[in-house]
Structure 1
Amino acid sequence: MSQTEPTPPPAAKPDYQAARRWNIVWVVPIIALLIGGWMIWRNVTSQGPVARVRFDTADGIAARKTEVRCRSVRVGFVKDVKLAEDLKSVLVYLELDPDNQGLLRRGTRFWVVRPRVSASTISGLDTLITGAYIELDPGPAGGEYHSRFVGRETPPATNRSIPGRRLMLTANEAGSLVAGSPIYYRGFEVGRIENRQLDIEHQRVTYDAFIREEYGALVTENTRFWNTSGIDIKAGADGFKVRTPSFQAMVSGGATFGVPEGVEPGKPVADGTVYTLFGNQDEAADSNFNPTMRFVLLFDQTVRGLVKSAPVEFRGIPIGRVADISFNYNQTPDDSRIPVLVEVDPSLLRREAAESQGKSDSEFLTEAVTRGLRASLKTGSLLTGALFVDLDYYKDPSPGEFTKVGEYPSIPTISSGFAQLEAKLSAILDKIQALPLDDTMKKIGAAADEAATTVADARGALKEIEETAAAARKTLDSPEFAKLPADLRTTLLSVEKSVSSVGPDGAIQGDLLRTLDELRAALRSMKSLTNAIDEKPNSLLFGRDTSGNPIPKAPKR
């Protein structure tokens, strides 16, 4: 019989409770998560734009310390400084405040403000205490956003935020004008040179010029700019000219502008207008001259002292200038005359009556040459020896006509001034040299010898006459003379007077001796004159040198 195992009692049902879906412990991480998210959002939204600026060196720049300022207001800071890949420059990353993003646009300029001392200005001394900072000069308003820049190593003369007229000047040479050099109008400073650079493509020097807003209307279409740096000394046909600018312009350079005399100013110009910077005021004034004709003048005398830009005058009135001096303008191989190319305005020669007749310049000049118009070289200054071309009408000039030499018309020339005087002196010297002075001197010497012999013979005769006179005087004093008739006595007295005048104390012998002395003096003077002319021919013009021989000085001990 099998035993039946007792049935186990049923298992008890577990007692369970539903888990809570919210626990206060989770408040802490949730709050931390919210705070972290807020901080991330805050950091992202508060981070301003970043710009990269390339400088040659990072001298005075430190990450997280150096500020970025615009007109002395902090607008950002230096975020990072790195060395460029080419190892030739540094990359400075600037972070600006979010509300200053509009400052990063095309044309914005950056430079490091540090202590600087130049010939014209002293700046940045406050950075000795506060430290160096980066200055930001915003570009033109409305420019597109830009974040890559090349920093300037020198600060500009003016900020773009300052209103005014900005121009460009071009010159063939840099001269002494530098960034910061003043610009004057009638001696009053009205602007500055902002920048100077070399234009390799056009092989010229360009300047960025700034004129303050209140003086911008002075710059017009016919304005001329010229360099006023240093002392301007010019020696030309008008003599010496010396112009001295202000002391500041002499030290740091400077430029001046104005309108040439007799020219209308014209309308004001816009920003970016390009002007030529002339070397001096005379070049700026001559730029207004617009010649309408070119001539070739053939001179058979030296042109030493005649230079390019020398004036061409008509009775003292400037009507042109010398353009070139070259043998290329005369194609005739046997012609040794020197060609001079001149630029003139024939209208300055014509009267209103001639202009009203409607004649062309060529017709007018053809008639003028027929009436005696000739060109000549004249000395403008005895100190400098500079020459100028003079046009004038002459009476009975050498034959000539208005012809062509190569491609240019030609006006006949004549010699005048020192050249004409030199020709006359040469002719006089030639005549003197052609005189038979040696034969004449020999004849005069022979005549003097004969005169001396004659005087000796005369003295012998005088001695005999004296003896005769003594005998006659003895006879006249004798008692027998008183018994002679009156007419005979008168005749004998006359003979006595005549004999006395021929004696050693007589007037005839004295006159003869004086004549011989004067003849000897004249011979000596003529000999001295011929010797002086042989040694120094120009002594006829300039006289003898009366300074004497220099006295040698004893050596210093």
Structure 2
Amino acid sequence: MENRSHALMTGFFTITLLIAAVLFGLWFNRDRVERVPYMLATTQPVPGLNPQAAVRYRGLDVGRVSDIDFDPKVTGQILVSLNIDPDTPITRSTFATLGYQGVTGIAFIQLDDEATGSPRLATNSTNPSRIPLRPGLFDQLEKRGKRILAQSEEAATRLNELLSPANQKVILGAFADVSATANAYRALPQQLEPVIARLPALADQAQGTLQSVSALAADATRLTRKLQAPNGPIERISGTVERVGLSLEAVGNGVELEALPHVISLTEDTRASMRALKNTMNNLNERPQSILFGAPGTPPGPGEAGFSAPTK
């Protein structure tokens, strides 16, 4: 009995010692740093994030996650409570993302700032300030991966449409046409051999033609020089034309001096004849009987036989 009582006392003492050691360890390792509260409000999923997860500012450990819960005021929104060291430069442009430790899947809050020198973000325990949570690297990769998968699926669908039986026949027909065209091109060198054989002769003929053209150009140059030489044909023709012009000018002056007065006199006679003709036509219009009986005589004047004074 005495041995059993000693064993029981030893067991109680061992258990008490273990409990005291655990409590001492917890008390010794408890966090004595006073932290300020902040809040994350997000509708994004937060996989792998648990209470007491680390909060890091640009890689430095600055706090812990104290609580994760749903927002009772906004359906579907998650509230993440943070306790952060008061010396951490949390500003109005600070934002948070989810980071992951290696391949374990354990998440932590990564804080970063868009700019330096921004105003500090004030907070208090009754109304913690909120820090926006942005999509992290894995969230962006997930979105882009979904987009890439959708595009790959669309490309596969289009490829299946391209490789449909009808399109396969068209593609095979196109390959057959290309093969026939290639066979036709193979026969071209044989057809071009006679033409290629004639190329040297054509080149010699072209060279001879060029020499003839050069000789013709030289002859034209010599002819031009002869025509433009002093006392040459062009100068003699110019002198002849000038003399003919002077002769024509003299003839014109003679015609103006001799024939012009006669023309003026003839014009005046013609004008007088036209006046007489006009008078005759007027008389005929007034006395048509004058054609048969002639023109009436001149009435006698005072003192002549047959004169009678007009009565009032």
Q: What's the TM-score, normalizing by structure 2?
A: 0.49
User: Which has the larger share of strand?
Assistant: 1
Structure with greater Cα Rg = 2
